[in-house]
Amino acid sequence: MKKTRNDPDMLEEYDFSRGVRGKYAKRYAEGANVVVIDPDVAEYFPDHDSVNESLRGLVSIIKRRRKTKHRVRR
């Protein structure tokens, strides 16, 4: 495994001759939020839609609790 002179981490076997510069740059700039959940939690969510739906429900609960706390303090 011979390394290139320009970048010691790049091996000569790597072929980028057909690569497209910035192919996914726009999509990445729009937002690339990746969250990894533990396997025991993932058992309860078959897909990303179920995760999002559950989190939206949790956000709703949090918002209601915050409103209630503000009313009590005044």
The domain segmentation of the chain, as residue ranges, is: 40-74
Three-state secondary-structure class, residue 11: strand
Report the pLDDT value the prediction gives residue 30, as an integer from 0 to 100: 85
Q: Mind listing the pLDDT tens digit for each residue in 32-65?
A: 788 889 999 999 999 999 999 999 999 999 999 9
Does the pLDDT of residue 74 top 60, yes or no?
no
1 near 13, Cβ under 8 Å?
yes
The number of CA neighbours under 13 Å toward the Cβ of 45 is 16
